[in-house]
Amino acid sequence: MEQPDQNIVTGLQAPEPATQAQPQAPPAPQPQVPSGPSDLVFDVEKVSCYYGAFRAVTDVSLSIHENEITAFIGPSGCGKTTVLRTLNRMNDLVAGARVEGDIRYRGASLYGKDVSPIAVRRRIGMVFQKPNPFPKSIYDNVAYGPRINGERSKRKLDEIVEHSLRQAALWDEVKNRLKASGLSLSGGQAQRLCIARTLAVEPDVVLMDEPCSALDPIATGAIEDLMRDIKSRYTIVIVTHNMQQATRVSDRTAFYSVLRNEESDTRTGVLVEYGKTQQIFEDPVDDRTKAYVTGRMG
Amino acid sequence: MSTVTQRADPAGTAGPARPLSERRPLGDRTFQVIALASGLLVLVILVLIAVSTTQRASLWFSTEGWGIFGKIWNPAANQFGALSFIYGTAITSVIALIMAVPVSLGIALLLTEVVPYRWARPIVYVIDLLAVVPSVVWGLWGILVFAPWIAHIYSDIGSAVNGVPVLGALFGPPTSGASFFTAGIILAFMITPIVTSLSREVIATVPAIDKEGAYALGATRLEMIRGAIWPHSKGGITGAVLLGLGRAMGETIAVALVIGSSATITSHLFAPGDSMPAVIANQFGEASGLFRSALMGLGVLLFVFTIIINIIARAIVGRSAEQGTA
Amino acid sequence: MAAITEPQLGPNLQEPAGWRRTKNRIATTAMVLAFVLAVVPLVFVLYTVIAKGISIISWQFLTSPIPPQVVPADVGGIGPAVLGTIEITAMATAMAVPLGILGAVYLHEYGGKGVLARLIAFMSDVMTGVPSIVMGLFLFSIWVLHFGFSGFAGALALACLMLPIVIRSTDEMLKLVPNPLREGSYALGATKARVTLTVVLPAAIGGIVSGALLAVARAAGETAPLLFTILTVTTANPNIFSGPNTAIPAQIFSNATSPYVGAQSRAWGAALTLIVIAFVLMIAARIVTARFTRYSR
C-alpha cells in the first residue's frame, strides 16, 4: 500500500512526559504507588493494521490517559473499531489479521513475544455494539468472569455480582430475578448486563465499541451516565458514530478518516487529529476534522 | 484531576490476574490436543478398516487372483468366486433405485413446492419415522409377511409372461417370495428417507428468484420445476441418488432375510439370489480359513465400492448449504 | 364499432387449458402418490409389528431368559437381549458421543479452513456411508481375533458407526452458535478451551443432545456389526468385557429364520420393543430441540 501523502496528527502528546510512573507486568505485587494525574495507560506508536494484504489502518499514534474517557470518532470504514480491537488483542481472533508498530500498555509491549492475550483481555475489557448476553442466568452472566479466574466462594461471588450490577445501574431492576435468563432483558438492560459482566473482573480499561448504537435514546442516556460514574475507577475508550455523545462524555477525542489511493483504488484508515474534546469540536486544527464535526462530511 | 486507583497491577478484587507474559495455559493446550486427536480418530479408523480387512482378505486375493470374480461359489470345493454376489448387490440396488428415486423426488418436490408450510412438518415426521425403522424389523416383516404375500403376485405374473421374449426372462419363473425383486422393494423403502431429505436440501438451495421468474412468465408448477429447479438441482440430486445407492449396496440384514440366499446369476428377478453383505452375514459363522478370508474379501470389495460412491456423491452434494445460494 | 359478438369479454384469465394443465395436474397427483407410496409400507410394518407383538409384550417378556426356539410363545422372553442392548448401546454412546463432540469442536473451533480440518470433515461425511457390516468385520479383525467375542467389541463397532453421525450433527449445531457469544467470552479473558466449554457447548447443548439421541436410536437398531463381535448367545451376560453376549436386534435376526411359531412370536415382541425404543429416542430428540435452543436476543 502506498504511503499517505497527508497525515497530520496533532495534539498527540500531552504535556506530561511519556514515561510511566510505575512498572507493570512483573508477577510479584508491587507496593502501591499512587499514579500522577493523567498517567498514560496506552502508548500507541505508528500502528498499522492489516487483514491479510489489505491495510485497514495506517500509522496511528496516540496515547490514552488514565481515568479519562477517550472517544474515537469518524466516518464508517475508517478503522476506529480496528484500532480499538488492537488494544485488547481481539483482532488476534480474525484469521490473517496483523499489527505493525508498537502498542505499550503501562509500559509493557502488548504484542510482545511472551504476552498472553488472555491476560491482556483480563485487564482490558470490551463491551460490544450489539448486546451479547450469554444464554445463562443474569447472575451467571456476571459471575462468569470471576469464575473463570478462579473465584469459587459463593459469598464472594454474590458480592461481586451485586457490586458490578450496581456499578452498571442495573441492580435495582434485576435484584429479584437474578436467576432469570440474560436473554430476557430489554436492549438497554442487556447492554448494562454486558457492562456489569465486564466490570465484574475489575479490569483496568474498558473498551466500548459503539455501545449505544443498538439502543434507544433513554437507554443511551443511562449508559452515558454510567460511563461518567465509573470513569474515576476505570479508563474508557469508546468508539462512537454519535458526535453529540462524544462531546457529552469524552475528555479526549481522536478523529479518524479514510485515505483513498486513486491509483490502486484502495482505502485505508488514518488518524487525522487527536486532542482534548473541547478543542477538537470547537477549534479543530485540520480541515477534515472541521468538515466532519460541523456535519459536512461522513 | 481524577481519583487515582491505588493498584500496582490492576488485578482487582475478582481474583488474581495472570502475569501479562505467560505461556498459553496447560489446560488450554491440552484441550486443543484432545480435540485434534478426536478429529483424527475418523481418519485413523478409516485407514485401520482398510488395512485390517485387506490383510485378512489377502489369502483369498492371492489364492484366487482374478478368480475372485468367478461365477462359482462353492465352499465345499474351496472355490470362491464372488460374481454372483456382486451381481445380486448390483441388481437389488438398481431395482431399489428405480423405485425409490422417483418416489423420493416426488416427496421432496411435494414438500418444497406444493405443500404449505404447516403441512410440511407432519410429512417430514412421517419420513423420519420411515427412516428410524431398524433394518432387522424390515427383514422380519419382509420374510414373514411381505414375501409370502408377494409370492402369489410373482407366480401370477410369472405364469402370465412365461414364454414372452423379454418379460419372460425378467419376470418369468422360477418365482419365490424371497428373491432379488423382494429385496429390491424392501431396499427401496429403506433408502427413500435419505434420498428424500438430501434432495430436499438440494432443491432448497435453488434461488427463489429463479422460481419466481418462471412463474412470472406464466409457467405452471410442472413447467417451473423443469425450467428453474431441475437445471440447478441436477448435480445435487445425482449426488443424493448416489448416496442412496451406497446405502442400498451396504444394507445387510433386511436383504439377508428376504433375498433367498441362493448364489445364482440369473435374469429372473423373481428368483432367489444373494448379495455381498447378505452372504457375509449368513455364512460367516461357519467359515474358516480360505472361506473366511473370502468373506472378508467380499467385505473389502463392499468397503471400496461404497467409499468410492460416497466420495463422489459427497463431492457433488457438498456440505450443508455451501452451494447455489443466491 | 360493431357489437362484439364473441362469447367472452375482456382478457382470458383462465388457466392454460388442455395438455399443459393436464400435465401439471398429473405431476401434482404423482407427487402426492409418491408420498402415499412411502407411507403405505410404513403403516403396514408398524401395524404388523404392533399387532403381532403387543400380545406377547409384558414385563415378564422383557426380563425372562431366552428359551430354546421350539418353546411356545407364552414361555420365556428376551431378557438377556434387553440387558445386552442396554449395556452395549450405553457403552457405545459413552465412547462415541464425547469423542464426536470433541471432534466437531476441533473442526469448528480450531480447524477452520485448514486442509486437515476440511479433510476430516469430508471423510467423516463419507464415513457415515460405510456399511455397518464392514464395521463389524473391521472389529472382528482387529479386536475379536485377539480378545475374543464380547459385548465391548460390539460397543466398539457401534461407536465407530455413531462417531461420524455425532460429529456431523454437533458441527451443524456449533455453526448455529452466534459469534458474538464467543467474543463476549474472549473479551473477559477466557482461553479458547474455556470459551468452548463454558459458553459455546452449553449454548449448543440442545441440538447436540438431540443429535446424539438420534445416533443412539440408529445404533440400538443395528444388527450386522453385532454378528461379528458379540456372537449371539441366549444366556444373559452382564459382563460386557468378556464373553459373548446378545442384543435385541441380533435375537430378532436369529429368530426370524426359525420355523417355530414360538420363536417367531418372540421375534415380533422383540421387534415391537425395538421400535418403541427407537421412537421414544426420536421423540425425546424433538423435545430437546424444541425446548433447549435459544442463543441470542
Summarize pLDDT for A156-166 with one digit per residue, the tens: 999 999 999 99
Highest average pLDDT, of A21-30, B71-80, B86-95, C71-80, comes from B86-95
In a domain, A247, yes or no: yes
Does residue C172 sit in helix, strand or coil?
Answer: helix
> Is B14–A146 a contact, with Cβ atoms under 8 angstroms apart?
yes
Test the C interface: residue of A148, A197, A202, A207 with most C CBs within 10 Å: A148
Nearest to C221 by CA among B299, B254, B96: B254
Which of A119, A121, A131 is opposite residue C187, by nearest beta carbon? A121
Tell me how far apart the alpha carbons of residues C4 and C200 are, in angstroms, rounded to a whole number: 74
* Low-confidence winner among A40-54, B56-70, B162-176, B181-195 (lowest mean pLDDT): B162-176
Residue A15 lies in a domain: no
Task: Give pLDDT, residue A38.
Answer: 54
Put simply, whether B319 touches A (Cβ < 8 Å) is no
CB-nearest to A114 from B1, B3, B21 is B21
* DSSP string for residues in chain A: -PPPS-----S-S-SS-SS-SS----SSPPP--PPPTT-EEEEEEEEEEEETTEEEEEEEEEEEETT-EEEEE-STTSSHHHHHHHTTTGGGGSTTEEEEEEEEETTEETT-TTB-HHHHHHHEEEE-SS----SSBHHHHHHHHHHHTT---HHHHHHHHHHHHHHTT-HHHHTT-TTSBGGGS-HHHHHHHHHHHHHTT--SEEEEESTTTTS-HHHHHHHHHHHHHHTTTSEEEEE-S-HHHHHHH-SEEEEEEEEEETTTTEEEEEEEEEEEHHHHHHS-SSHHHHHHHTTS--
Mean pLDDT of B115-136: 90
Distance from CA of C203 to the nearest CA of A (A): 6
Residue B313 domain flag: no
Count up the domains in chain A and report the number: 1
Residue B27 included in any domain = no
Residues of C in contact with A118 (CB under 8 A): 189-191
**Lookup: cell for A52:** 491479510
Is residue B112 in some structural domain? Answer: yes
Minimum-distance CB partner of C191 among B25, B135, B253: B25
CATH classification of the domain holding A284: 3.40.50.300
CA distance A204 to chain B (A): 6
Q: Give, as one character, the DSSP assignment of residue B116.
A: -
More confident residue, B173 or C192: C192
Task: Say if C205 is an interface residue toward chain A (CB within 8 Å).
Answer: no
Nearest to B103 among C38, C134, C175 (CB): C38
Q: Which member of C35, C132, C138 has the closest CB to residue B53?
A: C138
CB neighbourhood size of A153 (10 A): 10
Give me the residue label for grid cell 499489527. Answer: A99
Q: Does C179 touch chain A (CB under 8 A)?
A: no
Q: Does B26 touch chain A (CB under 8 A)?
A: no
What is the overall mean pLDDT for chain A?
A: 84
User: Mind telling me how many Å the CA of A166 is from chain B's nearest CA?
Assistant: 16
Output the pLDDT for position B72.
Answer: 87
- C206: chain A residues, CB-CB within 8 Å: none
How confident is the model at residue B149, as a pLDDT?
A: 93
Residue of B nearest to C195 (CA): B28
Q: What is the ipTM of this complex?
A: 0.90
- Contact check, Cβ <8 Å, A132/C184: yes
B276 in any annotated domain: yes
Q: Is residue B186 part of a domain?
A: yes
The residue of A105, A106, A204 whose CB has the most chain B CBs within 10 angstroms, and thus the best one to mutate to test that interface, is A204
Q: Alpha-carbon distance B312 to C220, whole Å?
A: 29
Distance CA C247, CA C234 (A): 9
In chain C, positions 223-242, which contact chain A (CB-CB < 8 Å)?
Answer: none
Which H or E run includes B80?
A: strand B79-80
Contacts of C95 in chain B (CB under 8 A): none
Instruction: Show the cell assigned to C185.
Output: 467470552
Give me the domain span that covers residue B144.
84-287
pLDDT the model gives residue C296: 61
C183 and A132 in contact by Cβ < 8 A? yes
Q: Which domain holds residue A84?
A: 40-132+202-293
Mean pLDDT over B191-206 rounds to 92
Show which of residues 126-185 on chain C sit within 8 Å of chain B, judged by CB atoms.
Answer: 126-127, 129-135, 137-138, 141-142, 160, 163-164, 167, 172, 175
CATH number of the structural domain spanning residue B143: 1.10.3720.10
Q: What is the DSSP string of B214-226?
A: HHHTT--HHHHII
Among C31, C105, C175, the residue with its CB nearest the CB of B110 is C31
pLDDT of res. B319: 47
Residue B189: its pLDDT value, please?
96
Percent of chain B residues past pLDDT 90, beyond the cut: 52
Tell whether C127 lies on the interface with A, counting CB pairs under 8 A: no
Torsion sign across C-alpha atoms A212, A215, A219, A220: positive
Task: Name the residue facing A183 among C188, C202, C294 (closest C-beta).
Answer: C294
Identify which of C38, C120, C134 has the shortest CB distance to residue B107: C38
**Strand, helix or coil for residue B73:** strand
Angle between helices C115-127 and B289-317 (to 10 degrees): 120
Number of residues in chain B:
326
Q: Do A149 and B16 touch (CB under 8 A)?
A: yes
Q: Is residue B266 in a domain?
A: yes
Total structural domains within chain B:
1
Q: What pLDDT sits at residue A19?
A: 43
**Interatomic CA distance for residues B318 and C157, integer angstroms:** 27
pLDDT band (50, 70, 90) for residue B11? very low
pLDDT value at B299 more than 70: yes
Name subunits touching A (3+ CB pairs < 8 A): B, C
How far is A145 from chain B, CA to nearest CA, in Å? 8
Residue A147 falls within a domain, yes or no? no
A128 vs C183, C295, C297: nearest CB = C183
Question: Given the DSSP bridges, would you call strands A266-276 and A252-261 parallel, antiparallel or unpaired?
Answer: antiparallel
Q: Is residue B132 part of a domain?
A: yes
Sign of the C-alpha dihedral computed for residues A101, A103, A108 and A112 taken in this order: negative
- Summarize the confidence of residues A9-36 as an average pLDDT: 41
Which are the contacts of B101, defined by CB distance < 8 A and separation ≥ 6?
B195, B241, B244
Residue of A nearest to B13 (CA): A202
Query: How many whole angstroms separate alpha carbon B294 and alpha carbon B75?
Result: 10
Chains that touch C (3 or more CB pairs under 8 A): A, B
| Residue C123 backbone phi and psi in degrees, to 5 | -70, -25
Give percent above pLDDT 90 in chain A.
Answer: 54
Name the residue in chain B with its Cα closest to that of C145: B56
Residues of chain A found within 8 Å of residue B20, distances taken between Cβ atoms: 24-25, 105, 108, 115-116, 119-120, 123
Give the pLDDT confidence score for residue B19 in this predicted structure: 64
pLDDT means per 10 residues, chain C with 297 residues, are 50 65 88 93 95 90 87 85 94 96 94 90 94 95 91 94 95 93 92 92 92 94 93 86 91 91 92 94 91 69
Q: Is residue A23 included in any domain, yes or no? A: no
Q: How confident is the model at residue A298 (pLDDT cuts 50, 70, 90)?
A: very low
Shortest Cα–Cα distance, B254 to chain A (Å): 45
Residue A239 has pLDDT above 60, yes or no: yes
**Helical pair A138-148 and A187-199, crossing angle rounded to 10 deg:** 20
Amino acid, res. A135: P
Is pLDDT of A21 > 70? no
C191–chain A Cβ distance below 8 A for any pair: yes
Q: Which residue of C has its CA nearest to A185?
A: C297
Query: Cis ω on the peptide bond leading into residue B174 (within 30° of 0)?
Result: yes
**If pLDDT is split at 50, 70 and 90, which confidence band does B303 have?**
very high
B contact chains, 3+ CB pairs < 8 A: A, C
Closest Cα in chain C, distance from residue A130 (Å): 8
| Over residues A39-53, mean pLDDT | 90
